[in-house]
Chain A
């Protein structure tokens, strides 16, 4: 084993257009395995767009063109033989607003299992076990174990967001993408989600988009700063906040613009 940490996601000269508008230009980054990496930058800088490239969920709008290369775990996800279903199975995503499905808590957690397996392969006990495991991992099991058949949309926002993380776990993703996962939550909820991120770190590569500088500083191991669709700087969080290399990064972190 070498000392250099393994790389989970690499992009090479990634360009993306929404119709004629270029949202990403020549993005080249390496995101390390098992760490929490923040994508930061002012609104409209393309950080969410970049995040949404990693599971190709961008493409649901027909007018998106992508050029360049994204390698996830060594495989170019734009290769023609890549199955979107398999890609999305190994790359989980958490959204800005908690979006549990309007079905029971139990069904939300097993949703992923159900869509990726034949009905005949599923046993009740295996599903039960997966639900307990996933909910325990996000710290919801104690609170929710007696009301698994209730609708997930009736939970508190914080619980909803944890549930949205829990439902990714049974699929054993390699990477979890988080798009401002705390922006709809209060202080307590934010803390709970951040603590959960620390628990998950190491086993999963976590990429988080955040507007909140303090959050990026608290939670992430590394930061990537973007501006106007361009990559500016990638450094360890401590370094970036103390001695940013690029003057634009320094100005953004100091709050001169954004």
Chain B
């Protein structure tokens, strides 16, 4: 390292070159450089500005209702009658249960599939198969959520009715399946990165001791990549919680505590999407919907932050 630095600063011929260089660079070029530098800085900071901007805006719209709000009733009551003329009630308990149950069920389906696929892509595939699979999986992530919702509504609902002999096809199970399919790609690509980061020397150690492929995965790779895989699962969760369009179309959209996975439910996100257009600006209903937005924002923020901290934890080691 040191020698190369001294080489670059070798004095005599360098100085002459430097003066020549100065002359060639006009004032305009310098100005352009500055401008581009500023622009790049701006791009970098804009992410932070936008996040805070959005949070500020959502909070400003929802905040006035906080004064009238009874937190216990808001969070735990299952009475959601926002449009009642005489006795409007804003309890999001059932919506929270809806979001959590759909997300939970989705994760029960998606985590084994997603992480299994990550192991498959990373440890079993080589060359062309691997590249093809990765591209296809990423393509899965590119399908718009409204298309997923459409599939849920028209393709999956009849299948669910037929297969499970239930009266309604648009229900929690339908929504969860869609969410699972939507969060699998993110889990695969992050999970695969985590497995790729496991040093090959661990694999060699296991193989040289006579571990079978399965033993190698179970006893060496999964413990070694555990944090990264956990982060992958959490980012999948964050994706699923925030998803709106597909669950709005496929879960049946009825406010209630589900008793089986074939009951229709309604989620926080779907409620906002469906009702915000119908409210008048500044009304209680309008403000409550923004409060729900804050709630969602906080949940995904916590999940993302946890995932991020876990990933950082890996890098430090």
Binds B, one of A27-35, A84-92, A200-208, A218-226: A84-92
Binds A, one of B172-180, B188-196, B207-215: B207-215
Q: Is B126 an interface residue (CB 8 A)?
A: yes
Tell me whether A92 and B208 are in contact in the complex, defined as CB-CB below 8 angstroms, given that A62-B126, A115-B215 are known contacts: yes
| Residue of A101, A112, A114 touching B224 (CB-CB under 8 A) | A101
Measured between C-beta atoms, what is the minimum distance from B178 to chain A in Å? 36
Q: Is the CB of A167 within 8 A of B210?
A: no
The proximity string for B residues 208-230 relative to A, scoring 1 for CB distances below 8 Å and 0 otherwise, is: 11111001000110011000000
Tell me whether A164 and B205 are in contact in the complex, defined as CB-CB below 8 angstroms, given that A112-B210, A116-B210 are known contacts: yes
Measured between C-beta atoms, what is the minimum distance from B131 to chain A in Å? 16
> In the bound complex, what is the Cα–Cα distance between A86 and B210 (angstroms)?
7
Measured between C-beta atoms, what is the minimum distance from A72 to chain B in Å? 14
> In the bound complex, what is the Cα–Cα distance between A100 and B212 (angstroms)?
18
Tell me whether A115 and B219 are in contact in the complex, defined as CB-CB below 8 angstroms, given that A95-B201, A99-B201, A102-B224 are known contacts: yes
Q: Is the CB of B204 within 8 A of A57?
A: yes
> In the bound complex, what is the Cα–Cα distance between A85 and B216 (angstroms)?
12
Closest to B203 in A: A60
A95 proximity list for chain B (CB < 8 A):
201, 204-205, 208
Q: Is B301 an interface residue (CB 8 A)?
A: no
Measured between C-beta atoms, what is the minimum distance from A167 to chain B in Å? 7
Measured between C-beta atoms, what is the minimum distance from B18 to chain A in Å? 43
Q: Is the CB of B205 within 8 A of A115?
A: no
> In the bound complex, what is the Cα–Cα distance between A31 and B223 (angstroms)?
38
| Residue of B202, B209, B220, B223 touching A171 (CB-CB under 8 A) | B209
Closest to B218 in A: A115
Measured between C-beta atoms, what is the minimum distance from B284 to chain A in Å? 54
Interface SS, B side: helix
Closest to A62 in B: B126
> In the bound complex, what is the Cα–Cα distance between A97 and B199 (angstroms)?
11
Q: Is the CB of B210 within 8 A of A101?
A: no
Q: Is the CB of B210 within 8 A of A115?
A: yes
> In the bound complex, what is the Cα–Cα distance between A111 and B219 (angstroms)?
9
B224 proximity list for chain A (CB < 8 A):
101-102
Q: Is B206 an interface residue (CB 8 A)?
A: yes
| Residue of B202, B203, B208, B223 touching A88 (CB-CB under 8 A) | B208
Residue with the highest number of chain B CB atoms closer than 10 Å, among A92, A111, A168: A111
Measured between C-beta atoms, what is the minimum distance from B125 to chain A in Å? 12
Q: Is the CB of A101 within 8 A of B212?
A: no
| Size class of the B contact interface (CB-based, 8 Å) | 10 to 19
Q: Is the CB of B207 within 8 A of A88?
A: yes
B208 proximity list for chain A (CB < 8 A):
55, 57, 88, 92-93, 95
Q: Is A122 an interface residue (CB 8 A)?
A: no
Closest to B127 in A: A62
Q: Is the CB of B202 within 8 A of A167?
A: no
Tell me whether A114 and B219 are in contact in the complex, defined as CB-CB below 8 angstroms, given that A57-B204, A95-B204, A99-B201 are known contacts: yes
Q: Is the CB of A101 within 8 A of B207?
A: no
Closest to B126 in A: A62
B202 proximity list for chain A (CB < 8 A):
99, 101-102
Interface residues of A in 106-149 (CB under 8 A from B): 111-112, 114-116
Measured between C-beta atoms, what is the minimum distance from B130 to chain A in Å? 12
The proximity string for A residues 178-205 relative to B, scoring 1 for CB distances below 8 Å and 0 otherwise, is: 0000000000000000000000000000
The proximity string for A residues 42-72 relative to B, scoring 1 for CB distances below 8 Å and 0 otherwise, is: 0000000000000101001010000000000
Q: Is the CB of B204 within 8 A of A101?
A: no
Q: Is A82 an interface residue (CB 8 A)?
A: no
A87 proximity list for chain B (CB < 8 A):
210
Q: Is A73 an interface residue (CB 8 A)?
A: no
A85 proximity list for chain B (CB < 8 A):
210-212
> In the bound complex, what is the Cα–Cα distance between A97 and B200 (angstroms)?
11
Interface residues of B in 224-258 (CB under 8 A from A): 224
Q: Is the CB of B209 within 8 A of A115?
A: yes
Tell me whether A111 and B201 are in contact in the complex, defined as CB-CB below 8 angstroms, given that A62-B126, A103-B223 are known contacts: no
- Identify 15 new A-B residue pairs, CB closer than 8 A, beyond the known A88-B209, A112-B209, A115-B219: A57-B204, A57-B208, A60-B203, A85-B212, A93-B208, A93-B209, A95-B201, A99-B204, A100-B205, A101-B224, A102-B223, A111-B219, A114-B219, A115-B206, A115-B211
- Interfacial residues, chain A to chain B (CB-CB below 8 A): 55, 57, 60, 62, 84-89, 92-93, 95, 97, 99-103, 111-112, 114-116, 164, 167-168, 171
